[in-house]
Amino acid sequence: MNSKQINYFKTIVDPKNICTTKEELLVYEYDATLLKGAPEVIVFPETTGQVSLILAYAYQENIPVTTRGAGTNLSGGTIPDQGGIALVLTKMNKVLEIDFENRVVVVEPGTINQELQDMLTPHGYYYPPDPASMKACTIGGNVGECSGGPRCLKYGVTRDYILGMEMVLSTGEVVAIGSKQQVNPDPLDIVKFMVGSEGTLGVFTKLFLKIKKISEAKKTMLCTFNSVKDASRTVANIVREGIVPTTLELMDNLLINCAEDFIGLGLDRTADALLLIEVDGLKEELDGQVEVIKKVCEKNNVKGFKIAQSAKEVDQLWTARRTVIGAVARKRPSYSMQDVTVPRNKLPDIVEEIVNISEKYNLPIGVLAHAGDGNLHPLVLFDERNQEEVEKVHEAEFLICKKALSLGGTLSGEHGIGLLKKPFLDQEFAPEVLSLKRQIMLAFDSGNILNPDKILEVGK
Ligand SMILES: Cc1cc2nc3c(=O)[nH]c(=O)nc-3n(C[C@H](O)[C@H](O)[C@H](O)COP(=O)(O)OP(=O)(O)OC[C@H]3O[C@@H](n4cnc5c(N)ncnc54)[C@H](O)[C@@H]3O)c2cc1C
């Protein structure tokens, strides 16, 4: 980009919302992966009109645009690897409306997930998608990735909670689709289609989301096992009994110990795995569900079965789960988090393969999973400064993806494809499917300026 082009953006947004120094650009080279790529200018729009003018100019000048929320994605989705503009939506962060009668909220894309939850909780409501990064990530990013979280086993993912949006196309055209309407048999539902588009089809500037009433009661259980296989078998067995818990999370021994080193809650360090299980609903139905879950755990040789007795205990257990990703930093300086899914009854098979891969490459791999969904996040621990180890990480992760696909799974459960999984995409999708996806991307963004060549090599 030349200085004339960069200066043009100063005529659209307040100059304080433009960053161009080397140090500022450095900060936007990253997301939550190890990938890097610097933008040439960072622009923080404050209105839909500004987003529209920015995109219209970028389209005319053929400038790549990488749309960004909080940059917590784990797929390289906000790496500006082709330079151009980092379009950061964090200043468009207002909750525009909370409508309890229609159970809908209207938000700007930069709204932080946790801040929305904090506004709803005092009224007895919540927004179900709950990525573990919810204290930092934005709703725009959640929609961009179709994010899930522990609760999505029972309550579904972002796609299930979006009713409408305002978005700006690559040409600068502003489009509004859907609104508060709860039932909408739209034959080619573009709103749902935009969810998970990873910044390649348009830029969301306003989002209409469904909210829910907080359940009357919940019970949280901590179950430990002497073998990860027993723990993972328990997962499918619980669902087979007709119970769909709100959450069914798995952590292996390595991660239990990382969490203990970090916050010391008295978790059983000798357990090979733990399941954190929560059920919610009407008070009177929960005891029966807990009883069934306990029986299933016992059939699978449970080591310890404990029901949290207070809100404080529940909170502590969830703190252990939510902070474990950061806690691994004490073990090795770098981690790479995978995101594959398998049918839930195949969990024991993939876990076995991960153990084999860990031994083969002599790399510690912690298994963390939204196990109820069969969605695994193996955490490969290594040292980024050791190139030989980095190579081994790539090979190990490739084998994990390959195994997941061979078990009938998918390459991504919730973190998206971005740049990270792009090289593997042809392992999951047939050429004709990839061709259809490419045509769709070009139909929305004929100039291929929006997150160009992320997910797929598109060309023009
Ligand atoms: C510790 C940790 C835990 C995590 N746990 C979970 C989890 O439990 N579940 C889960 O699903 N993910 C999880 N993630 C991944 C990540 O937090 C989610 O993908 C999140 O939704 C990204 O939000 P963000 O605001 O950071 O978006 P970004 O990373 O900034 O962007 C994500 C994608 O959305 C696009 N995008 C952003 N804003 C817009 C917009 N306004 N219009 C169009 N496209 C846009 C971007 O181009 C990019 O492709 C975790 C990440 C970390 C670091």
Cβ neighbours, 10 Å, residue 362? 9
Task: Report pLDDT digits (tens) over 59-86.
Answer: 999 999 999 999 999 999 999 999 999 9
Instruction: State whether 385 and 400 are in the same domain.
Output: yes
* Final residue belonging to a domain, choices 297, 328, 359: 328
Taking Cα atoms as reference points, which of 388, 384, 369, 283 lies closest to residue 324?
Answer: 369
Mean pLDDT across the stretch 401-408? 96
Any residues with CB less than 8 A from the CB of 145 and at least 6 apart, and which? 73, 75, 77, 158, 196, 198, 414, 415, 416
pLDDT band at 186 (very low <50, low <70, confident <90, very high): confident
Ligand 1 binding pocket mutation candidate from 30, 66, 73 (most atoms within 8 A of CB): 73
Would 454 be classed as within a structural domain?
Answer: no
Structural domain count of the chain? 4
Task: Report pLDDT digits (tens) over 303-355.
Answer: 999 999 999 999 989 888 888 888 998 899 999 999 999 999 999 999 999 99
Ligand 1 atom closest to the Cα of residue 325 is: 1
d(CA 90, CA 120): 20
pLDDT band at 181 (very low <50, low <70, confident <90, very high): confident
Per the structure, the complete domain to which residue 407 belongs is given by 332-416
Would 391 be classed as within a structural domain?
Answer: yes
Amino acid at 307: I
Ligand 1 binding pocket mutation candidate from 30, 47, 66, 72 (most atoms within 8 A of CB): 72
Q: Structure tokens of 373?
A: 């969904």
> How much is the pLDDT for 330?
87
Instruction: State whether 366 and 258 are in the same domain.
Output: no
- Report whether pLDDT(184) > 80: no
CB 90 within 8 A of CB 110: yes
Mean pLDDT across the stretch 206-234? 96
Rounded to the nearest angstrom, the distance between the alpha carbon of 108 and the centre of ligand 1 is 15
Would 180 be classed as within a structural domain?
Answer: yes
Rounded to a whole number, what is the largest CA-CA distance in the chain?
70
> How much is the pLDDT for 5?
96
Write out 143-210 in H/E/C secondary structure. HHHCCCCCCHHHHCCHHHHEEEEEEECCCCCEEEECCCCCCCCCCCCHHHHHCCCCCCCCEEEEEEEE
129 lines ligand 1 (CB under 6 A): no
Instruction: State whether 193 and 223 are in the same domain.
Output: no
230 lines ligand 1 (CB under 6 A): no
> How much is the pLDDT for 265?
86
Residue 77: give its domain's CATH number: 3.30.43.10
Instruction: State whether 31 and 73 are in the same domain.
Output: yes
Ligand 1 atom closest to the Cα of residue 158 is: 11
* Final residue belonging to a domain, choices 186, 213, 240: 213
- Report whether pLDDT(154) > 90: yes
Ligand 1 binding pocket mutation candidate from 137, 147, 247 (most atoms within 8 A of CB): 137
Mean pLDDT across the stretch 387-413? 94
d(CA 107, CA 113): 10
Mean pLDDT across the stretch 105-124? 98
Instruction: State whether 198 and 225 are in the same domain.
Output: no
- Report whether pLDDT(185) > 80: no
Instruction: State whether 19 and 52 are in the same domain.
Output: yes
> How much is the pLDDT for 177?
93
Would 136 be classed as within a structural domain?
Answer: yes
Distances (CA, A) of 312 to 122, 221, 268, 316, 318: 18, 13, 18, 6, 10
131 lines ligand 1 (CB under 6 A): yes
Ligand 1 binding pocket mutation candidate from 34, 52, 68 (most atoms within 8 A of CB): 68
452 lines ligand 1 (CB under 6 A): no
Instruction: State whether residue 361 is helix, strand or coil.
Output: helix
Mean pLDDT across the stretch 156-181? 95
- Report whether pLDDT(460) > 70: no
Rounded to the nearest angstrom, the distance between the alpha carbon of 150 and the centre of ligand 1 is 15
Residue 361: give its domain's CATH number: 3.30.70.2740
Q: Count of residues for the chain?
A: 460
| Whole-number average pLDDT of the chain | 95
Instruction: State whether 350 and 394 are in the same domain.
Output: yes
CB 165 within 8 A of CB 191: yes
Mean pLDDT across the stretch 139-154? 95
Mean pLDDT across the stretch 98-109? 97
- Report whether pLDDT(180) > 90: no
Instruction: State whether 50 and 130 are in the same domain.
Output: no
Would 445 be classed as within a structural domain?
Answer: no
